[in-house]
Structure 1
Amino acid sequence: MAKWPKLKWDVEPTGPLKGIKVVDMATVVLGPFATLQLADLGAEVIKIENSEGNTPGDLMRYAGDSPTKDLGPIFAALNRNKKAMNLNVKTDAGKAILAALLEDADVFIHNVRMAGMERLGFGYDEVKAINPDIIYVHCAGFGAGGEYGERQAYDDLIQAASGFASLSEMRDGGRPSYAPSLVADKVSGLFAAQAVMAAIIARQNGQGGQFVQMPMFEAFTWFHMVENLFGETFLPGNGKLAYTRSINPRRRPYPTADGYIAIVPYNDHQWRKFFELGGRPGVFDDPRFSTYQERSNNVGELYAIIEEVAATKATDEWVALLDEHNIPAMRYQRMDDVITDPHLAQVGFFQEREGEHMGKYRSMRHPVQYHGTPVATYADPPRPDADGDEIRAALGLGT
């Protein structure tokens, strides 16, 4: 059996997945977001990029400005802690290198159409023949067996097809819209990372390797329908889809005397105290708001009153007052405020690094803290084929 190449890292990985070996043929956002989770947690990830064409590699490399022209800001955020090599897997030499890596890998993950991978000779059955214990994760657009199974999938398409884009239409009667975030890609990436770790545990429990399909459409529909199936949960349904609170047009930061604030009183005591502090002590005695069920049924009217009350004080005054009385609230921040947020600074969330080719850049610390197996940023995002020679030499294979 070929040996996994001994990889040299800027700092030795220490996370809980240390020792797990991942061959990553995923591109753009969904797959790289999944393998970023694995890499941050200490897995050794080798990112395989296509070397065909005039613009080789993951196209996300070229989205946005960067000092190197091939380490775009989104790519940089998604691909730290990984090794990179360019490979043309349509050639015999490229197939041999990929097969050698798969012999000793724990995980193979990609978002290529399965029919294409089978034509290349790297469908699940072929890879299983190389390595029976491998965990083979296919990030698909749509689940096998459905009529959409062969369709392409991108974030916008999934937001539209899942009903998620209709929530804005339900909220305010306007035209449907996409969330201003690649939310379907990233949610699906988290599902894919979770699937890898669950399959690793199953293998450690003696159940062997397996094929895992992570369909983006189903994953994202599951994610957003948790609260939005709502009135169609119990049969026969009542037709009331979408959680009434989340699609109310008044669910938004409230204007204060000098800015905006988010206020979420939750239990009865907090509601009563909030209205007392705002000079409206009788509001909560109204039968429309006196119980959780009635507040849910009349949430629009309740939000309207909160908006009136919020406007009576300045933001800092409200934050201090609500904190004093343990009522959940946060000041509204714009994007540039978040970069200088004091809490994020105190926990070291944004980190300034300096890459060999990138110069100084801002990175985000992995948000989950593992005190026994601490995670870290141990390698800067790689340039195209940055580690190709090292990996080929370690495998004893040429280009």
Structure 2
Amino acid sequence: MRPLEGLKILDLSRVLACPFASMILAEMGAQVIKVEQPRTGDETRHFEPRVQGEHGSESAYFFAFNRSKQSITVNLRSEEGQKIIKDLAADADIFLENFPVGTLQKYGLHYDAIKKTNADVIYVSCTGFGMTGPYAPRKGYDTVFQAMGGIMSLTGERGGGPVKPGLPVADLTSGLWIVIAILTGMAGKDRSGHGCHVDFSMFDGQVGLLSLAAARYFTLGEVPARMGTEHPGRVPSAAFECADGKWVQITGSDQHWRPLCELLGLTEWATDEKLAKNAERVRRRAEVMGGLQQAIGKLDRSTVCEQCDERGVPAGPILSVNEIFEDPHVVSREMVQRFAHPQVGAFEGIAVPFKFTGYENPQMGRPPLLGEHTETILREKLGLTPAQIQGLNQLNVI
């Protein structure tokens, strides 16, 4: 048994943040019914990169966030489609949506409407800026939230312009916030006996990650500058280039300073009582960082990492994507798994990173074909006859 078996999620979301959240929950055992637009589906079904298989072409982007779900197609603009959603929602534990503010109210599928038939539902609304506030009507994408939420202002080299991270951090972290919200709502329902509405703003989610930058601002009035890979309050904590042109990240505290200096041949620094304290190393940042880079630049990355490991100094190679998936630890932990898809055959994906004792581990399932489960769900959950389903199809409701 997986830990979330029996949990039923009606998922009206698309693109990345919410689909990522519902995929995590699906692979831990929840039943996720993904509602898509007839004929076209989630727009990411048409995104690059494409996977070409023997029986067709599919989007690897869609694959990355929609495994282990069931897909039904419903036209939310039609009265018949709205009734289908309400009927399915009556039996759902979770109702998940990421439409612009006010859209589902026009369709009679907002929280107050769904609550009438299911008072226990955890209804999660994910919007760019939330249901209230001056920005509520605004649209946005991952990079907009990164920009406005602060992470871009903190990311980049000294003296350079703002840089976005190499992954859609606002989308991905919003997906994790949504998982937290859903599980928190379920835990609250177990205690209170009733459901709730969760108003989640992706912008709020980024502001909520500022943590250390906020602590420095609240304490020192400091607006953190871009520092590349360096840490504002710790030296050393940075990436260093090695003799072979590869890079290593070294992050140490006071107890790591002497062994680091010894392995690098910096004997005077190793016995310097002042430099043994982080505050002094921060004060002399330029000198210390220059000396470390000069010493590390004489050694290959593998040598630096091996010697750091031997002496207990926290360090790790900066790995490219191909190196990560070939890494023996990643292989041992089975972080890359495969599913079989009817269109493209075997395809790889990144596993949900949990290992349970007492439950089965998350299981990787394949992404659904568009509308693959429509007839089955309408028949088994709503009791519709083949003739009724055919009639809905002819009306372009499904």
TM above 0.5: yes
Partner of 1:238: 221
Preserved CA contact (<8 Å) 1:168 1:247: no
1:222-242, Cα deviation, whole Å (9 max, x unpaired): 11x1011243213xx433436
> Residue type of the partner of 2:267?
P
| Secondary structure in structure 2 of the residue aligned to 1:253 | strand
Partner of 1:148: 135
1:67-216 matched pairs, under 5 angstroms: 67=52, 71-168=58-155, 171-216=157-202
> Residue type of the partner of 2:19?
P
Deviation at 1:265, TM superposition (A): 4.7
Q: Label 1:202 to 1:98 Cα distance change in 2 as closer, same or farther (>3 A).
A: same
The reply to whether residue 43 of structure 1 matches residue 26 of structure 2 is no
Residues 367-376 or 118-127, more deviating: 367-376
Partner of 1:65: 50
Partner of 2:253: 267
The reply to whether residue 352 of structure 1 matches residue 338 of structure 2 is yes
Deviation at 1:287, TM superposition (A): 6.9
Preserved CA contact (<8 Å) 1:89 1:120: yes
Partner of 1:8: none
Instruction: Choose from 329, 332, 338 the match for 2:324.
Output: 338
Q: Label 1:156 to 1:322 Cα distance change in 2 as closer, same or farther (>3 A).
A: same
> Residue type of the partner of 1:290?
A
Deviation at 1:167, TM superposition (A): 1.8
Structure 1: segments with no counterpart, 5+ residues: 1-13
Deviation at 1:255, TM superposition (A): 1.8
> Residue type of the partner of 2:22?
T
Instruction: Choose from 253, 257, 261 the match for 2:239.
Output: 253
Structure 2: segments with no counterpart, 5+ residues: 393-398
1:100-122, Cα deviation, whole Å (9 max, x unpaired): 11011000001002311001001
Residues 55-64 or 298-307, more deviating: 298-307
* Structure 2 Cα separation of the partners of residues 60 and 374 of structure 1: 30
Q: Label 1:50 to 1:150 Cα distance change in 2 as closer, same or farther (>3 A).
A: same
Partner of 1:28: 15
Deviation at 1:154, TM superposition (A): 0.8
> Residue type of the partner of 1:365?
A
Q: Label 1:76 to 1:324 Cα distance change in 2 as closer, same or farther (>3 A).
A: same
1:340-364, Cα deviation, whole Å (9 max, x unpaired): 1111111211123322222111122
Instruction: Choose from 217, 220, 228 the match for 2:206.
Output: 220
Identity %: 27
> Number of aligned pairs?
379
State the TM-score, normalizing by the size of structure 1. Answer: 0.89
Preserved CA contact (<8 Å) 1:353 1:360: yes
* Structure 2 Cα separation of the partners of residues 298 and 142 of structure 1: 42
> Residue type of the partner of 2:61?
I
Residues 284-293 or 329-338, more deviating: 284-293
* Structure 2 Cα separation of the partners of residues 95 and 70 of structure 1: 31
CA RMSD of aligned residues (A): 2.3
Deviation at 1:284, TM superposition (A): 4.5
Q: Label 1:110 to 1:297 Cα distance change in 2 as closer, same or farther (>3 A).
A: farther
| Secondary structure in structure 2 of the residue aligned to 1:114 | coil
> Residue type of the partner of 2:68?
N
Preserved CA contact (<8 Å) 1:227 1:243: no
| Secondary structure in structure 2 of the residue aligned to 1:147 | coil
Preserved CA contact (<8 Å) 1:265 1:271: no
> Residue type of the partner of 1:294?
E
State the TM-score, normalizing by the size of structure 2. Answer: 0.89
1:35-73, Cα deviation, whole Å (9 max, x unpaired): 11211211100000122xxx6111111112123666311
